[in-house]
Chains A and B, each alone.
Chain A
Amino acid sequence: MALLQISEPGMATAAHQHRLAAGIDLGTTNSLVASVRSGQANTFADAQGRHLLPSVVHYQAAAAPIVGYAAKAAMTTDPLNTIASAKRLMGRGVEDVKQLGGHLPYHFVTGGSAVPRIQTADGVVSAVEVSADILRVLKLRAEDTLGGDLAGVVITVPAYFDDAQRQATKDAAKLAGLNVFRLLNEPTAAAVAYGLDQKAEGVIAVYDLGGGTFDISILRLHKGVFEVLATGGDSALGGDDFDHVIAEWLLQEAGLVGSSDRIILRTAMVAARNAKEALTEAETAPVELGEWQGELTRSHMGELIAPLVKKTLMACRRTLRDANLDKEAIQDVVMVGGSTRVLAVRDQVASFFGKPPLVNIDPDRVVAIGAAIQADVLAGNKPDSDMLLLDVIPLSLGLEMMGGLVEKIIPRNTTIPVARAQEFTTFKDGQTAMSIHVLQGERETVETCRSLARFSLREIPPMVAGAARIRVTFQVDADGLLSVTAQEQTTGVSAGVEVKPSYGLNDNEIETMLRDSMAHAREDMEARRLREQQVEADRSIEALEAALQADGDVLLTAEERTALLIARDQLVHLRQGTDHRAIEAGIKALEKAAESYVERRMNASIRAAMAGHRVDEFKE
């Protein structure tokens, strides 16, 4: 007979209608699948009892792709047909890959597609297809373990994943035949795994130290609702760096410093890693390299890696500042990632935050477990559960304004889902179209932000400059996908885009953009002022010329007209310079020169409006 599981009271399903759900941690190095059975969330093992699935796919001619440990073994024998770390390519464009190119051994196919494609013995594959092959194996494992088809899954993504990367993840799931309930940020999943969502209030730090990356996220729980306040980290710092410093010490002790023998270097790395892992349990670990034998103590290793751990804590401090919080505000610290098994890391994190971090769930599995718990809720297996998880957008989203300035519509760290609208107007008389350029970034000018999409709103009824009202709405859904619409308010004519950017940013680039925005804050502010004054100058000149053409001959004497044209030429000249104060003065001078002309025009138009009417018609 079928094997049964225990449901929550009153939540048992009819036969053949089990709402089977799973959580998937689709990682750069390893992936996992987990599910809740009989009230307990567990990761699932393969037939050999291994829970981790290496995120590696080996493609061979006319054969099904091999995924996992066997594929990982093929990395050395058949590197060109064995794709690892496909997650780094998700949602990326060909241009991005050129930058990463040096590190990737694959044959990229050029042309014909916006997404990078890799030539393998089994044909051309994209990162989405590689990820789909990994997801297929996890799906099969979950369905074999649960004894039925999956109703849906929750897949975790890094908090810094942008729209394109999230969309690519969803595409991969679709390709693998999975129904995605939703994507969930990795730190949020880790907090859920510890049941921190069951508390009423609190601020939580999620410290995620993997093999090659470090992420810190600050979450706030408010009335049972999760919100990601800020994220930060270092995309080039992880447990592999610990191995490096330990290996360097080994080489020094063994008198082999400066050796270029690859075998010795590799042996040193392996010895370093083994010693590091042994020191989680033991106080001392024996080490040997070549002829040399010695031992490494736990406290000595702590000293060796201390500068690296300190770097992670500096990132914690920056992220806390981003979230506008003191470290005393943090109530719980969740540890994620295999490198948090190192006791020196736990100790330093504990002393930084002033409290012991949560470590009792396997840090490699904690994200998948949280995803499984969330999937169980979304599948409808929990009674009246109202767990709603909120995330934030990593970089501000905005629009290009006249003069190449960026107007931010949704500031960074805004929780999603979110919709924000702002009204804009036309710049020129009779303007019937408006080009809308969507940008992402923290700086003030278009060149320093990343372009996400462009579209045009046409058929705006011709009006004088500034009269049209165009409402632009930015909407970011729960998965972090952006859509932008523009609507002219009098006619209702509208246009919009779903933003699936041709390529995205990695966390390194996001961090660089953030750092730049701080480093260039002053010059950006100056640039913004200059552009604003230039736009203002253009507007004044434009308006004056339009007026002169309309009634300049009627209302002005020749001398007055000449004086105005001199003031205008002066402003045109100043506008070409870079002194925003001078331009501002020029605008003021032109306005002053035009004062009486403006007055006369106003009187003339009132006269025209009242012509043919009696005065008492204008009385209330």
Chain B
Amino acid sequence: MITMTPTAADRVTKFLANRGKGVGLRLGVKTTGCSGMAYVMEFVDEVQEGDTVFESQGVKVIVDPKALVYLDGTEVDYAKEGLNEGFKFTNPNESARCGCGESFSV
């Protein structure tokens, strides 16, 4: 199960509308970075076979089965830090993070 906060869902809805196409948001992981894994967020134009589709706050969140192992239970929020703003993951599977917080390990 993956969920979004209302703020995050509102942002995703706006970004999709602005983009003019796309069915939802893909969450994934990449095996890179200084601490093993990194989160990935992409627009989705087509749902792939085997993808799990969650619906949260009216937004379709799409995850492939491999990534779901690392992401199950994650909540996605949207936050502002100074001038910077963007999406933030709260993932119960995470056990360690690199100093910058861009990558994590389970």
Contacts and interface: CB of A to CB of B under 8 A. Distances in A.
A2 B33 contact: no
Contact of A3 (B12, B45, B88): B88
B30 A12 contact: yes
Interface residues of A, number: 29
A558 interface: no
Interface in A1-36: 1-12, 14-17
The CB with the most chain A CB atoms within 10 A, among B12, B15, B25, B83, is that of B83
B34 A15 contact: yes
A16 B86 contact: no
Interface stretch (A80-88, A138-146, A346-354, A564-572): A138-146
The CB with the most chain B CB atoms within 10 A, among A1, A4, A14, A46, is that of A1
Interface stretch (A37-45, A154-162, A208-216, A514-522): A37-45
B102 A5 contact: no
B34 A5 contact: no
Interface string B58-102: 000000000000000000000101111111110000000110111
A14 B38 contact: yes
A141 B83 contact: yes
Interface string A556-597: 000000000000000000000000000000000000000000
Contacts of B26: 9
Interface residues on B, range: 35 or more
B34 A16 contact: yes
Interface in B4-59: 11-12, 14-15, 18-19, 25-26, 28, 30, 32-34, 38-45
A145 B28 contact: no
Nearest to B35: A15
Chain A interface, >50% SS class? loop
A40 B14 CA distance: 9
A7 B39 CA distance: 11
B102 A145 contact: no
A15 B41 contact: no
B3 interface: no
Nearest to A144: B83
Contacts of A8: 42-43
Contacts of B87: 3-6
A123 interface: no
B79 A3 contact: yes
B30 A6 contact: no
A38 B34 contact: no
17 contacts: A1-B97, A3-B81, A3-B87, A3-B88, A4-B86, A4-B87, A7-B40, A9-B26, A9-B45, A11-B42, A12-B42, A15-B32, A15-B103, A16-B34, A39-B43, A46-B83, A47-B82
Given A3-B81, A4-B89, 20 more contacts: A1-B104, A2-B101, A6-B41, A7-B40, A8-B43, A12-B30, A12-B42, A14-B32, A14-B38, A15-B38, A16-B100, A17-B32, A37-B86, A38-B11, A39-B19, A40-B19, A44-B83, A45-B83, A145-B84, A146-B84
Give 6 closest A-B pairs by Cβ, nearest first: A3-B86, A15-B33, A1-B101, A15-B38, A14-B32, A15-B102
